[in-house]
Structure 1
C-alpha cells in the first residue's frame, strides 16, 4: 500500500504531473506497440519481404 501512496503522491496528485505522466506513458506505449507489431509482421512474413530476398536479385546485372 505504501507503493501506491508514493506513486499517487509523485504522479497523480497534481494535474500537471498527471498530464505529463499520461503523455509520456502514451509515447512509450506507442513505441512499444509499433516495434512489437513490426516484429510480429516480420516474423510472420520471413522470407517474403524484400530485405530477406534482395540478395537473390542484386548484382545479377553484370554481364
Structure 2
C-alpha cells in the first residue's frame, strides 16, 4: 500500500506531473514496441535480409 501511495503522490497527484508521466511513458513504450517489432521481423526473416547476406556479395579486395 505504501508503494502505491508514494507512486500516486509522486506521479499522479498533480495534473502537470500526470501529464509528464504519460508523455515519458508513451516515449518509452513507443521505443520498446518499435524495437520489439524490429526483433520479431528480423528473426522471422533471418537469412533473407541484406544485412544477413551482404557478406556473400562484397568484394574482399576492395580498399
TM-based fold match above 0.5: yes
For the aligned residue pairs, the C-alpha RMSD in angstroms reads: 1.4
| Separation in structure 2 between the aligned mates of residue 11 and residue 20 of structure 1, nearest angstrom | 8
TM-score by length of 1: 0.91
Q: State the aligned residue count.
A: 61
Query: Runs in 1 of length 4+ with deviation above 4 angstroms?
Result: none
Instruction: Note the residue ranges of structure 2 that are not aligned, 5 or more in a row.
Output: none
Gaps of 5+ in 1: none
**TM-score (ref. length: structure 2):** 0.91
1:58, distance to aligned residue in structure 2 (A): 1.3
